[in-house]
Amino acid sequence: MRRLDRRQFLGASGAALAATLHGAARAGSAAPEALVTRGVVLVPEDLTLGDWPERAKKAGLTTIGLHHQNSPQAVIDCLRTVAGRRFLERCRQLGLEVEYELHAIKELLPRDLFARSPELFRMNEKGERTADANCCVHSERALEIIADAALAIGRALRPTTGRYFYWGDDGQPWCGCGKCRELSPAEQALVVENRICRRLRQVDPDAQLAHLAYVNSLAPPRKVKPEQGVFLEYAPIRRRYDLAFDQQRGPRAAEGLDALDANLEVFPRHTAQVLEYWLDVSRFSKWKRPGVKLPWNRDVFLADVAAYRQRGIRHITTFAAWIDAGYRDRHQDLAFIEEYGRGLLHADGGRK
């Protein structure tokens, strides 16, 4: 991949910004409002790179999210360690926001309830109730248990932004019972999200909750409408990273920017967030350790940011999983963290 010096990089950033403004002008709208979120999402093991908060601050980022694929409790346990407590304190001192982005349903609805109450859980394609993933969204008791548990976890993992992220099980199917099968995966997820957000707002009136548009929930919901406080989080995990997103066409076009545009017809544009994978070593490593060297492509990144900003997106973050102490020791070069943050800043006119 062609490398750019600092002058060329800033020039490319300026070109991306110009493309953003040009696109907004063609659409007949003003330049997009300033970015609110410039972030990264880490996993607990990444805190072995003890200066992550300092690196994020130097890069001009606003937010660090912590993620676990299956277990909110694992994040709670992480933050009780010396490294976790130091991480939170340094973020507080540096003025960095902290959020928690979690595939949470398996803990919000404990699987050990299945033996006594299988009706709480999803029905598979064979017509059998199973505790393998998610829930039955037409079970009122399941929704109440999930909402109560989300409130309890929210007290332990309280985001500094008031934005909560309780996702369905990672890419797993939803319920196929007689009532649920009429709803798409996105619609079933939104039923759960609406209930959680309603409960959170009983104790935190300004709470917001993410609706994750991802894999099987990428198509926008039509039969269920988002309640007040539910915002879109669009995560295009299946896209390519050797080509700018707005240039990607073909059979999977429905999974690309067209899907984002369709979701923006349903969810408020000003609160929508893009969750990208530009810095996600775990994804580029096919989730097998040790992680490979990140194939960082600044040109693609800058073009993607321009496309998102043209759509008025004000919250942009990326997974940066597996950028930990081991990655630093193996590959040394972490300059892409600052390049990522500075690219977002420059595309936003240098506003902090």
Establish how many alpha carbons lie within 13 A of residue 19's alpha carbon, considering only the half-sphere containing its beta carbon: 15
Mean pLDDT split into 10-residue runs, the chain, 352 residues = 40 44 42 88 97 98 94 94 97 98 95 98 97 97 98 96 97 97 98 98 96 96 98 96 89 75 97 98 97 97 97 97 97 96 84 60
Decide if 273 contacts 231 (C-beta within 8 A): yes
Nearest alpha carbon to residue 94 among 38, 53, 42: 53
Report pLDDT for 252.
Answer: 56
pLDDT (tens digit, 9 = 90+) per residue, 98-154?
Answer: 999 999 999 999 999 999 999 999 999 999 999 999 999 999 999 999 999 999 999
Report pLDDT for 71.
Answer: 87
Q: With respect to CATH, is domain 6-26+36-347 assigned 3.20.20.80? A: yes
Report pLDDT for 17.
Answer: 44
Encoding tokens for residue 207? 């709470």
Residue with tokens 């939104």: 190
For residue 317, count other CB atoms closer than 10 A to its CB. Answer: 26
Residue with tokens 């595309």: 347
Decide if 276 contacts 319 (C-beta within 8 A): yes
Report pLDDT for 70.
Answer: 81
Nearest alpha carbon to residue 264 among 328, 311, 326, 203: 311
> How far out from the chain centre does Cα 277 lie?
9
Q: Where are the domains of the chain?
A: 6-26+36-347
Report pLDDT for 350.
Answer: 59
Report pLDDT for 90.
Answer: 98
Decide if 220 contacts 200 (C-beta within 8 A): no
Percent of the chain with pLDDT over 70: 88
